[in-house]
Chain A
Amino acid sequence: MDAQLIVVLAGIVLMVVIVGSVLFMRGYSGKFTFDTADGTRPRASEGDGNTTGVAFKGRFTMLTAGVVAMFGALVAKLWSMQMVSSDYYDTLSEQNQTRTVTTPAPRGRILDRNGVALVTNRASLAVTAYRDVADDPVLVRHVANVLGMPYVAALRNIQDNTEGAQARHTIATDVRRSTIAYIQEHAGVFAGLYVDERTERQYPYGTLAAHVLGYTGTVTQGQLAAQEEAASSLDEGAITYTSGDTVGQAGVEYEYESVLQGIKGEQTVTVDAFGNVMSEAGAVPASAGSDIRLTLDLAIQQACESGLNHAIESAKQQGMVNAGAGACICLDCTTGEVLGMASAPTFDPSVFIGGISNDDWEALNGEDSGNPMLNRAISGQYMSASTIKSLTSLAALEYGIYSSTRTTVCTGWWTGNGEENGQACWLETGHGTQNLQGGIAHSCDPVFYDIGHDFYYNPDNPEGMQEMFRRWGLGSPTGIDLPSEGEGRVPDAAWKERYFSDWSSEDRSWNPGDMTNLAIGQGDILVTPIQMATVYAGIAMGGKELTPHVFYSAVSRTGEGDAYRYNETGTKERLTAKINSDADLALVKAGLHDVIYVTSTDTARHFSSLPVEVAGKSGTGEKTGEDNYAWFCAYAPADDPKYVVTAVLEQGGGGSDTALIAVRDVLGHIYNSPDTYTSYESGVR
């Protein structure tokens, strides 16, 4: 203890000084010798002025001086405190007795592109009270009875400080109007209770677009810690959160939190030493957050979700018992706007209102839950399957690996990498002689095995295929304005070497089989549905890919109109893939047209009822130990593309048999032309 040391040292110094002065006085008086017999001071020394009377006078002077000195010290210290430093103490006194509590601001609403509210706010009447009401057990019991809740629960809510010790604590929310009226009529009995209007998230369309919209929840400790860390770099106007605040936790609610979150109001209260609120002082009202318009179109969103469910149901009927998960996306390829985005299985965002229960959380995140909160449209990473063949073809044409006139004879079994490494075509009986356009149309694997094989042994561009995939944006996120987007994977020799670092160097070397697998979109390649939708949008647009986005605009706070658009112009260019020659692209597009109208009468029948021509590609991913993954990517109209629809079904079987259904349903909805043909037995993969 430092103060203790100081006192000890001061004491020692003082003692030394006193002893010194005593010795000094001794020595001084010792100079005198008295002319008496033994040299001592004579008993009666009245003569030297040392009479009792004179001595007393001196002592009284000393005493008076002491009293005056004491008052002098007190006044001096008081002067310094009350006259000089008064402002400092005044501030401390002010801080002592005032607290600022915040009042919540309503979040902005989330609308679809036509202004239909997808997420809105619901007024909720809450009964609140300051903490000191807990000291009145009779009142608490009354309140509990009126609100129909247990006494202990009511007491706990009043004493709970998470909303701030000096703020009004919520006893119950969503209190019925009749109960509120009763409380207000008996204001005398319920003195100390307040009725506060709160807003809570409401979802008029239930689970619709739940993955895009996201949900709100109480700010987490991690988020608060992150805020603390970033505090130094934050600018002045940034929103600061405190424990108990409601913030977006996923989807648009999370991504556009700063737009949706309003500015909290402030209420200054005066308190006593025990924290009891004595009175309310100045208040700054809360201001609501801005509304957001999304690019989603309610009708197309509904079509995506129902189409996806239709496809899943069909897959189950076709014997794919594990079907149930998947995604379906509808893009406007001319703007990059996401018109619909569905992911299955889905969840109900309203379970998060007012805090999610453990059971609900377990149901959404448990081992057997099927991860309903995962937005598979952007976070699901799958092998691309045959949908990649468009890009494989472009690469083959550009690098001269496979000309438009070259042909491959498909017998159903391809042995280009040697007999022992033979690979099958999906059609075991073989397609016969196929050129590249036919290879795309029929999804004939040996054509692409040849391409992969020839790339592998091409000394100039052994990885030209991967270069082409990356050129079109695979292996990197699309930059969609939603959280947790997957980036996919374009495998190459370097990747394999790195990824399987615990394998022997022989096993992890890039071999021809890897290349032939990659050419048909099997093996280690991973893509997200939004990536494939963007790639097909790029194909439709002649190589130009626009960044997919769900944010259309922030609605102006005052009146109608937009405060600002997405990227100010409404579109953002993601990339423009260089096209070697228009003829290459035309060949691919012709192949995609043939997929729909030539290869299979079954498929053609589904699409020929539409008023516009469609181009597209199916895909069927093979995964060991699981049923096949179904893909279908399409754009329409084929001659002047606007809509791109992509669907993927986990373990949904063949792409043309199941994923096609979702795509056809969405297009059918857009062109107001429902699918009239009910057979899904084309078998084309």
Chain B
Amino acid sequence: MATASRAARSNASSLKRVNKTMNMSRGGFRQSVHLGVLAAWLGLVAYGCVVMWSASLSIPEVSFSRHLLGIGLGFAAALVIWNTDLRNLQNISTALLVIDIVLVFLPNVPGLSHNANGMTGWIRIPIIGLTYQPVELVKLVTIFFISSLAAQYNGRIDTVRDYIKLCGMLFIPFACVIIQGDLGSGLVVFFSGAVVIMMSGAKKEWVLSTLAIMIGLVSLILATDSIIDGVLGDSNSLIKDYQMNRLLVFIDPESSTSEEGYNLQQALIAVGSGGFLGKGIGNATQSSSGFLPEAQTDFVFALTSETFGFLGAVVLLALFALLMLSSVRVAVKNENLFMRLACVGIVGMWMFQIFENIGMCIGLMPITGIPLPFISFGSSSMITQCCAVGIVQSIWRFRQKSA
């Protein structure tokens, strides 16, 4: 690897062919595919298959073949992306923003929107009839969009104006997703974008100040709500009760009588009763008897740890850790700032989704509807997450400075 990069620097044009030959001949596979990321990815997908297969035994909503179809499509998409050099995306930041916004509002387009069973945010692609959640793709596009903007500053943002401008740019897709009513995905977009901005060289003081301002705003809103509620005697004035419940239920799940409180309590019971080795496939009573709602999507981690116990949960977390740490490694080894930031953004996305989804099941985080990457049932998430892996592999493959 070191030889290859030195060679590339000395004589780019002539060595390009040599490079290719080297890739083919000795250790070439390792040059174009990062094994850590690959292993973690395949492990996670396989793990997800086992979980979904066990879920399909008792939960009628789960179709194992549809899960496999999602994996197939995801693999195909990942393969295509892996073969694509994404560095050129840096130059089309405006187009990325436009694509982002179009994707967000795609479910509002008549003829495309698909709102079955009270779900929103879905589209049905005409002719082939496949349904998809565009907001999943928005996560990836936003990462590229913010990375392309942040990469302009060569790793150090010097003026507050630039910093505020970047934050403002991130606010646009975030606000669009929130307007569509998907707080969970909005937070994913926000968090991954924030990671990109921090990594692109924003000063600590600014980041901390931003954080302080946001916390202050949230506190202010909550406090105002309390006061207004007190004055009006109506607890549904500024923030509706159910929204507040959802936000606060994880602080004391057992005392809450709301539906969220019940769901969380059932999730906690599922996780806790799994014990060290779990109850085994088919014996996970919490999820198979319907006590645990959304066991195949939002609360899939509870299903997993009830079935496979602490051991299974740690194996799952280890696979996620391998995926993320390997991806950080990919970013470190890349010299291209834009690619680096994009890779870091994807790590940020996983970080938030995994921490939020698992944290919600074990009472560390408030309840939001975010799928667990590679494990949750649902093709939209599976395809998008496979794309993310494809992106990381592509970043690894095209890591040389020459292009």
Interfacial residues, chain A to chain B (CB-CB below 8 A): 1, 3-8, 11-12, 14-15, 18-19, 21-22, 25-26, 52, 55-56, 59-60, 63-64, 66-68, 70-71, 73-75, 77-79, 81-83, 85-86, 88-90, 92-93, 96-97, 270-274, 278
Q: Complex Cα distance A146/B361, Å?
A: 50
Inter-subunit contact A70/B355 (CB<8 Å): yes
B208 contacts which of A12, A21, A71, A278 (Cβ < 8 Å)? A21
Whether the Cβ atoms of B219 and A11 lie closer than 8 Å is: yes
> Is there an interface contact between B268 and A75, defined as CB atoms closer than 8 Å?
no
Cβ of B102 < 8 Å from any Cβ of A?
no
Cβ 8 A contact of B212, one of A22, A59, A278: A22
Question: Could you tell me if A89 and B269 are in contact, using CB atoms closer than 8 angstroms?
Answer: yes
Chain B contacts for A7, CB-based, 8 A: 219, 222, 247-248, 251
Count of chain B residues with Cβ under 8 Å from any Cβ of A? 66
Contact (Cβ within 8 A) A96 B201: no
- B164 adjacent to chain A (CB < 8 Å): no
| B314 and A8 contacting across the interface, CB-CB below 8 Å | no
- On whether the beta carbons of B222 and A60 are closer than 8 Å, the reply is no
Residues of B308-330 whose CB lies within 8 A of A: 309-310, 313-314, 317, 320-321, 324-325, 328
Task: Find out whether the CB atom of B223 lies under 8 angstroms from the CB atom of A8.
Answer: yes
CB distance from B312 to the nearest CB of A (A): 10
Contact B332 A60 (CB under 8 A): yes
A83 to B235, CA, bound (A): 40
Contact check, B285 vs A96: say whether CB atoms are below 8 A apart.
yes
A15 / chain B contacts, CB cutoff of 8 Å: 212, 215-216, 219
How far is the CB of A655 from the nearest CB of chain B, in Å?
A: 70
Minimum CB–CB distance from B220 to chain A (whole Å) comes to 9
Q: Are A272 and B268 in contact (CB under 8 A)?
A: no
A67–B323 Cα distance when bound, in Å, is 11
Are A82 and B328 neighbours in the complex by a CB distance under 8 Å?
no
Complex Cα distance A97/B347, Å?
Answer: 40
Q: Name which of A5, A8, A73 has the most chain B CB atoms within 10 A of its CB.
A: A8
Asked if residues B222 and A75 are in contact (CB atoms below 8 Å), the reply is no
Cβ–Cβ contact A89 & B289, under 8 A: no
Q: Are B154 and A67 in contact (CB-based, < 8 A)?
A: no
Say which one of B7-15, B182-190, B272-280 lies at the interface with A. B272-280
Chain B residues with CB under 8 Å of chain A are 154-156, 195, 198-199, 201, 204-205, 208-209, 211-212, 215-216, 218-219, 222-223, 225-226, 235, 244, 247-248, 251-252, 266, 268-276, 285-286, 289-291, 305, 309-310, 313-314, 317, 320-321, 324-325, 328, 331-332, 340, 344, 347, 351, 354-355, 358-359, 362-364
| Separation of A63 and B247 alpha carbons in the complex (Å) | 27
Across-interface contacts of B276 in A (CB, < 8 A):
82-83, 86
Q: How far, in angstroms, from A19 to B275 measured CA to CA in the complex?
A: 42
Contact of B351 among A12, A26, A66 (CB under 8 A): A66
Q: Which of A5, A19, A63, A89 contacts B268 (CB 8 A)?
A: A89
In the complex, the answer to whether A273 meets B289 with C-beta atoms within 8 Å is: yes
Residues of B within 8 A of A68 (CB): 321
CA distance A89 to B273 in the complex (A): 5
Residues in A neighbouring B273, C-beta threshold 8 A: 86, 89-90, 92-93
Report if A18-B208 is in contact (Cβ < 8 Å); known contacts: A11-B215, A89-B271. Answer: yes
A89 and B284 alpha carbons, distance in the complex (Å): 13
Task: Please determine whether B269 and A82 come into contact, CB atoms closer than 8 angstroms.
Answer: no
What's the Cα separation between A78 and B309 when bound, in Å?
Answer: 10
Q: Which of B199, B225, B305 has the most CB of A within 10 A?
A: B199
- Taking a contact as CB atoms under 8 Å apart, the answer to whether B215 and A14 are in contact is yes
Among candidates A1, A75, A89, residue contacting B248 with C-beta atoms closer than 8 Å: A1
Distance A637 CA – B107 CA, assembled complex (angstroms): 105
Given A22-B205, A55-B201, are A271 and B289 neighbors across the interface (CB < 8 Å)?
yes
Residue contact B226 to A82, C-beta cutoff 8 Å: no
CB-defined contacts of A64 to chain B, threshold 8 Å: 325, 328
Report how far A270 CA is from B275 CA in the complex, Å: 21
Residue of A6, A14, A66, A81 with highest tally of chain B CB at under 10 A: A81
Contact B205 A26 (CB under 8 A): yes
**CA–CA, A70 to B353, complex, Å?**
12
B328 touches A63 (CB 8 A): yes
**Beta-carbon contact of A63 and B347 below 8 Å:** yes
Contacts of B290 in A (CB 8 A): 272-274
The chain B residue sitting closest to A272, CB to CB, is B289
